[in-house]
């Protein structure tokens, strides 16, 4: 019987010769040296690109999870790479710490979230990899290597690793003291949102918005620090909203004006949100409806223009699309393969129901993202290869030299990774 691996949405699948779950670094090192190649590493399967796909070996880090140690004074925590974000939140809260920021899904493994530059939103808040203080990997020869942020460029070289700069086993994260957030949601016309984009996104610690196709309206979400007592978090309405949008899409795909009026009617019934909760009870949402996703990271000032074009494309040519578009901001950083390298970023994510082929829509949208200088999210659908990527990353060649040192025998290089990095195998 063959082994079968699939990502969360079912868009990427593989039949490797071996799927293994090492229990410690020694066992992991043996597998890296001797298992059928290429050797790829799976987190929680929440990437939509073939990063994990291999006909050789897929390693799961599900047994490498939990807290190793922590420093209460420095608000640092050392954790194993297979720890899921949902579990990590509870671990940190119990020791008086908090992640400075999060995305809206908590099912990823921290190793996968770090390796693909996963992020939340906020113009002063970096992606998960910016919290790295120390990193432990098993390299392509099966040896354990440790790196520290202090005085070592290697953290910046391998912080966004794509599973190709060794297998991440443990990391020390720089966190902050546990905190509370006041979270508010309201709806406004997309014309106002685009007009006031810079001011609105800069006015809050964390801000993002969703554009609802064919509605003309956006749902704005703002989160700010609060010392107030906790108040109840309202029941989530996202899944019910998606079901409504899907029904309207199915029944009224070719009547956009009526579809839009009915969507507005549904939006009008949504109560405005305003509540205070501990950080771990704010960021994440329960995502049940499966989708595929493309996300590009643009220079901050280009975001509104690019989004306006994406909206026009969608509403003129792709009536089957109903998932909201997500728009966020991310602070600049110094990590060599980070999409946020040296620039304040506006991230735009487009989604398509997993029951439908996402590629026609996303292939049509990608040239718009690229025209505005976008860098693709490493874990989300894109078509770029080494030649295009090298133009987007000033330290690309240096990063590739580090990768060769860590994996001289190309043990972590699958056909997809070879195309991504320009490696002849």
Could you tell me how many residues make up the chain?
Answer: 425
- Does residue 117 carry a pLDDT above 80? yes
What is the pTM assigned to this prediction? Answer: 0.95
Instruction: Give yes or no: residues 215 and 259 share one domain.
Output: yes
Q: Kindly report the CATH number assigned to the domain that includes residue 309.
A: 3.40.462.10
Instruction: Give yes or no: residues 186 and 157 share one domain.
Output: no
Query: Apex CA 230: angle with CA 225 and CA 236, to 5°?
Result: 90
User: Do the beta carbons of residue 354 and residue 323 sit within 8 Å?
Assistant: no
Which residue has better confidence, 168 or 236? 168
Cα(405)–Cα(402) distance, integer angstroms: 5
Strand-pair partners of 274? 184
Domain end call among 163, 178, 193: 178
Domain end call among 178, 212, 247: 178
Is position 24 within any domain?
no
Is position 389 within any domain?
no
What pLDDT, on a 0 to 100 scale, did the predictor assign at position 97?
98
Is position 159 within any domain?
yes
Task: Write out the residue range of the structural domain in which residue 370 sits.
Answer: 180-376
Instruction: Give yes or no: residues 203 and 163 share one domain.
Output: no
Q: How many beta carbons lie within 10 A of that of residue 150, not counting itself?
A: 7
How close are the terminal C-alpha atoms of the chain, in Å? Answer: 29
Instruction: Give yes or no: residues 349 and 221 share one domain.
Output: yes
Is position 224 within any domain?
yes
User: Do the beta carbons of residue 28 and residue 80 sit within 8 Å?
Assistant: no
Instruction: Give yes or no: residues 224 and 136 share one domain.
Output: no
Instruction: Give yes or no: residues 233 and 372 share one domain.
Output: yes
What pLDDT, on a 0 to 100 scale, did the predictor assign at position 219?
92
Structure tokens at 305: 């223009």
127 φ/ψ angles, rounded to the nearest 5 degrees: -70, 170
Cα(83)–Cα(63) distance, integer angstroms: 9
Structure tokens at 218: 């956006």
User: For the residues of 237-285, what is the DSSP string, one character each?
Assistant: -HHHHHHHHHHHHHHHTT-HHHHHHHHHHHHHTSPPEEEEEEGGGTS--
Which residue has better confidence, 181 or 104? 181
- Does residue 295 carry a pLDDT above 80? yes
What pLDDT, on a 0 to 100 scale, did the predictor assign at position 151?
75
Q: Which of 344, 342, 343, 339 is nearest to 329 (CA)?
A: 344
Strand-pair partners of 220? 186, 209
Overall number of domains in the chain? 2
Query: Apex CA 35: angle with CA 33 and CA 39, to 5°?
Result: 85
Is position 108 within any domain?
yes
Mean pLDDT of 117-136: 97
Structure tokens at 35: 């298992």
Instruction: Give yes or no: residues 161 and 303 share one domain.
Output: no
Instruction: Give yes or no: residues 288 and 311 share one domain.
Output: yes
What pLDDT, on a 0 to 100 scale, did the predictor assign at position 242?
79
CA-CA-CA-CA torsion sign (21, 27, 32, 33): negative
What pLDDT, on a 0 to 100 scale, did the predictor assign at position 1?
43
Query: pLDDT tens digit string along 253-272?
Result: 777 788 888 887 787 677 77
Q: What's the whole-number average pLDDT of the chain? A: 94
Domain end call among 376, 392, 408: 376
Is position 28 within any domain?
no
Mean pLDDT of 333-345: 98
Is position 116 within any domain?
yes
Label residue 288 by pLDDT band (50, 70, 90): confident
Instruction: Give yes or no: residues 197 and 340 share one domain.
Output: yes
**To 10 degrees, the CA torsion angle through 225, 228, 229, 232?**
-60
- Does residue 136 carry a pLDDT above 60? yes
Query: pLDDT tens digit string along 152-181?
Result: 789 999 999 999 999 999 999 999 999 999
Instruction: Give yes or no: residues 144 and 247 share one domain.
Output: no
Instruction: Give yes or no: residues 184 and 195 share one domain.
Output: yes
Mean pLDDT of 84-97: 98
Q: Kindly report the CATH number assigned to the domain that includes residue 89.
A: 3.30.465.10
3-state secondary structure 218-236: EEEEEEEECCCCCCCCCCC
What pLDDT, on a 0 to 100 scale, did the predictor assign at position 207?
97
What pLDDT, on a 0 to 100 scale, did the predictor assign at position 31?
98
Instruction: Give yes or no: residues 71 and 116 share one domain.
Output: yes
Mean pLDDT of 13-40: 96
Percent of the chain surpassing pLDDT 70? 99
- Does residue 148 carry a pLDDT above 70? yes
Half-sphere exposure of 278 (CA within 13 A, CB side): 11
What pLDDT, on a 0 to 100 scale, did the predictor assign at position 197?
98
What pLDDT, on a 0 to 100 scale, did the predictor assign at position 2?
63
Is position 135 within any domain?
yes
Task: Using DSSP, state whether 78 is helix, strand or coil.
Answer: strand
């Amino acid at each position: 019987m063959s082994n079968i691996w699939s990502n969360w949405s079912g868009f990427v699948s593989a039949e490797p010769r071996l799927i293994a779950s090492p229990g410690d670094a020694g066992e992991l090192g043996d597998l890296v040296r001797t298992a059928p190649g290429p050797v790829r590493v799976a987190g929680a399967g929440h990437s939509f690109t073939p990063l994990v796909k291999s006909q050789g070996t897929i390693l799961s880090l599900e047994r490498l999870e939990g807290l190793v140690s922590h420093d209460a004074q420095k608000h640092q925590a050392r954790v194993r790479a297979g720890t899921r974000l949902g579990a990590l939140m509870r671990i940190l809260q119990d020791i008086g710490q908090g992640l400075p920021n999060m995305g809206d899904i908590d099912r990823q493994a921290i190793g996968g979230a770090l390796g693909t530059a996963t992020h939340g939103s906020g113009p002063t808040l970096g992606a998960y990899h910016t919290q790295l203080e120390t990193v432990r990997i098993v390299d392509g020869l099966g040896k354990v290597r440790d790196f520290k942020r202090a005085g070592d460029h290697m953290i910046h070289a391998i912080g966004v690793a794509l599973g190709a700069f060794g297998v991440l086993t443990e990391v020390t994260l720089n966190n902050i003291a546990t905190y509370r957030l006041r979270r508010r949601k309201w709806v406004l016309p997309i014309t106002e949102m685009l007009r006031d984009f810079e001011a609105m996104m800069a006015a809050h610690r964390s801000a993002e918005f969703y554009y609802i196709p064919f509605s003309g309206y956006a749902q704005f979400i703002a989160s700010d620090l609060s010392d107030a007592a906790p108040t109840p978090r309202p029941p989530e309405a996202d899944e019910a909203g998606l079901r409504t949008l899907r029904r309207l899409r199915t029944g009224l795909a070719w009547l956009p004006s009526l579809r839009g009026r009915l969507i507005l009617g549904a939006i009008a019934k949504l109560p405005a949100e305003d509540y205070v909760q501990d950080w771990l009870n704010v960021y994440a949402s329960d995502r049940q409806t499966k989708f595929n996703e493309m996300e590009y990271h643009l220079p901050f000032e280009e975001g509104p223009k690019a989004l306006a074009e994406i909206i026009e494309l969608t509403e003129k040519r792709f009536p089957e699309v109903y998932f909201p578009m997500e728009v966020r901001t991310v602070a600049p950083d110094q990590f060599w393969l980070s999409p946020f390298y040296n620039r304040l970023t506006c991230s735009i994510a487009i989604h398509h129901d997993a029951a439908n082929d996402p590629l026609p829509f996303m292939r049509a949208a990608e040239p718009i993202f690229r025209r505005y200088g976008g860098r693709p999210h490493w874990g989300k659908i894109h078509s770029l290869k080494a030649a295009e990527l090298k133009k987007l990353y000033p330290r690309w060649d240096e990063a590739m030299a580090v990768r060769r040192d860590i994996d001289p025998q190309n043990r972590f290089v699958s056909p997809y990774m070879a195309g991504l990095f320009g490696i002849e195998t």
